[in-house]
Structure 1
Amino acid sequence: MSTTPLPPFADVLATARVVALPLAAPFRGIRTREAVVFEGPRGWTEFSPFAEYPDAEAATWLAGALDFGWRPTPPAVRDVVAVNATVPAVPASDVARILARYDGCRTAKVKVAEAGQTLADDVARVRAVRDEMGPEGRVRIDANAAWNVDEAERAIHALAEFDLEYVEQPCAEVDELAELRERIGYLDIPVAADESVRKAADPLLVARAGAADILVIKAQPLGGVHAALDLVAQAGLPAVVSSALDTSIGLSMGAALAAALPQLDFDCGLGTASLFTADVVASPLIARGGVVSLERPRPSSTDLDRVAADDERRDWWLARLRRCYDLLEVTRG
């Protein structure tokens, strides 16, 4: 984590608002995405680790939020960021409806390996996406570390006919990713690492082990835009920037990261505001013509009132914010 001095907690709390954004389709088993948003000297920022994450992990997300709110963003080397559509683990019959929410996106990331579903469900969903995208579209899949090596090999073989751009986090462990990468080498489908980067004690291990071809990086979980840029530079692998189902404020953090990367060969997972039916601003940061801008959203009180969490959830999040701040204070001495 950065050793940049923390702002006083009173400054963080002064503008903090807890929001709950409804989803157009279930995602990661949730129907509402909760977050704390607050304003720093550099603009609005977001703290939104998933509810089940322990405080020690969530504190890194807070470091990322403070980095974006209190430090200047690195210089941008591009004016817009191309983004992908994200397709949750919906029935194949719902794919067209989901993709219609993304304007002009040429790439789709498809969630697979959902608990309670089968490989046949995944095949049907990915086939539907390929049919909608056409032969020129790019299709990638994300298993969120749900398969073992044998399951992953079987599934990727079954899905290979859909011309996959890459497979994201098929297995949980770095040694599993390395073994799988060797097994499926003949298919010429790259392996991307997400959880093996953002949830790892050593986020560079997956690169050193030769266990991935691509890194999926997320600004907030890695401690902020500056820390994520440093990680990519050290890893020496191509990177794609993604979100963690952020509000438009959090997505602007990811866009700042993507805009600053010296090399960006992949469409980024920063179009997920299209999965919400309401957001923290009246004009969400959604894909227009397949890209998102680098604008920094400024929510009004009316905007935030519209998506305010109930009192119980507000108190829960503000208590968590305090605990994570205290952890950062200890870490930074």
Structure 2
Amino acid sequence: MFPSVNEILDTARVVSLPMTSRFRGIDQREALLFRGPQGWSEFSPFVEYDDAEASTWLMAAIDYAWNETPPLKRDHIPVNATVPAVAAEFVEAVLERFDGCRTAKVKVAEFDQSLADDIARVAEVRRVMGPAGRIRIDANGAWTVDEAERAVHALAEFDLEYVEQPCATVEELSELRGRIAYMGIPVAADESVRKAADPLAVARAGAADLIVIKAQPSGGISRALSVAAEAGLPIVVSSALETSVGLAMGAHLAAAVDTLEFDCGLATASLLAADVTSSPLRARGGRIEVRRVDAEEALLTRWAANAERTQWWLSRLERCHELGKNYSPQ
């Protein structure tokens, strides 16, 4: 089903949630939430995304609110901790927020930091997690091939599980993968899947060993499952820094895939200092539950965005709805 824009606006609420640490250059996470026949859903593309890209996120939110989810194969999802580009001295406090997680994804290549900062951060994650912990790094496409090669060499001593989106383009990922193949460190693609006109190009080019899939940027759970199946590579289901409502959509995606070889990046509610539910979807014993999350009126009111930001999101919703009228969730 595809609801009218007025059906969505009837329950739409916009929130602005404080974060525990600055992440992706922001310290407040804004999101628009609304309720459909299946329950609450979330529309939260980052503010810098244009309407064409953001409309895909809205289609995912509508799909989750109006349509049944695919059959689930598990009721809990193993998840990783996420460490923002903080100074090494703050790493332990960040990891303490992710109960029982055996894997940590560490942000690197921040624009105002150096490789030395990355090394110090990753070294501290290894110290805190011990030799049995798993560490993956995420550069968000910020390195050139040469920079990425140097960084992987410098960080290899910390026993990396994989390096996520070290370079921006499929061609660069392919070149880097060839250069570091002898090291046995896999390359994962994220932006080259979720922001690409052709999300399967990276798989066809042999430019990655695994791919990162996210429900909202993919246009919904069914579309994400199709990409995963056609890519034929191991997948990691991850979040887009959503509220617990949006994370629940990601959890349903992870619960519907046939095989999960890696811990998923769905514990990012622990990066929020507030949420829209008193039962947030946070890691317990290294896992999160697969369940729908209801936004609570008191918290929607407590964290409501101001009038200007609310109108900005409502206008964005209307524009993106118009762009998505011919959408199919399949």
Given the alignment, which residue of 200, 208, 214 partners 2:204? 208
Given the alignment, which residue of 219, 236, 239 partners 1:243? 239
Given the alignment, which residue of 122, 128, 133 partners 1:137? 133
* Distance in 2 of aligned mates of 1:284 and 1:303: 12
* Distance in 2 of aligned mates of 1:26 and 1:303: 22
Given the alignment, which residue of 251, 262, 270 partners 1:255? 251
Given the alignment, which residue of 293, 300, 313 partners 2:296? 300
The answer as to 2:95 corresponding to 1:99 is yes
SS at match of 1:267: coil
Deviation at 1:329, TM superposition (A): 1.8
The answer as to 2:280 corresponding to 1:290 is no
- Which segments of 5 or more consecutive residues in structure 2 lack a partner in the other structure? none
Off by >4 Å, runs of 4+ in structure 1: none
Given the alignment, which residue of 255, 267, 286 partners 1:271? 267
* Distance in 2 of aligned mates of 1:67 and 1:242: 18
Spell out the pairing of 1:65-84 with structure 2 (5 A cutoff): 65-84=61-80
Deviation per residue, 1:238-275 (Å, 9 max, x gap): 00000010000000000000000001010000000001
* Distance in 1 of aligned mates of 2:14 and 2:164: 31
The answer as to 2:321 corresponding to 1:325 is yes
Given the alignment, which residue of 3, 6, 18 partners 2:2? 6
SS at match of 1:62: helix
Deviation at 1:9, TM superposition (A): 1.1
Matched-pair contact (CA < 8 Å) for 2:252–2:291: no
* Distance in 2 of aligned mates of 1:296 and 1:27: 25
Spell out the pairing of 1:178-257 with structure 2 (5 A cutoff): 178-257=174-253
Matched-pair contact (CA < 8 Å) for 2:59–2:327: no
* Distance in 1 of aligned mates of 2:326 and 2:52: 11
- Which segments of 5 or more consecutive residues in structure 1 lack a partner in the other structure? none
TM-score by length of 1: 0.97
* Distance in 2 of aligned mates of 1:172 and 1:118: 18
Structure 2 residue identity aligned to 1:231: V
Task: Indicate the residue corresponding to 1:313 in structure 2.
Answer: 309
Task: Indicate the residue corresponding to 2:37 in structure 1.
Answer: 41
Q: How many residues align?
A: 328
TM-score by length of 2: 0.98
The answer as to 2:170 corresponding to 1:170 is no
Deviation at 1:300, TM superposition (A): 2.0
Deviation at 1:84, TM superposition (A): 0.3
Task: Indicate the residue corresponding to 2:108 in structure 1.
Answer: 112
Structure 2 residue identity aligned to 1:244: A
* Distance in 1 of aligned mates of 2:289 and 2:11: 25
CA RMSD of aligned residues (A): 0.8
* Distance in 1 of aligned mates of 2:131 and 2:226: 36
* Distance in 2 of aligned mates of 1:253 and 1:79: 13
* Distance in 2 of aligned mates of 1:17 and 1:241: 26
* Distance in 1 of aligned mates of 2:295 and 2:325: 28
SS at match of 1:22: strand
Deviation at 1:282, TM superposition (A): 1.1
Identity of aligned residues (%): 65
Deviation at 1:31, TM superposition (A): 0.2
* Distance in 1 of aligned mates of 2:111 and 2:207: 25
Given the alignment, which residue of 19, 27, 32 partners 2:28? 32
Deviation per residue, 1:58-111 (Å, 9 max, x gap): 000001111111111011111100100000000000000100111000000000
Deviation at 1:119, TM superposition (A): 0.1
SS at match of 1:18: strand
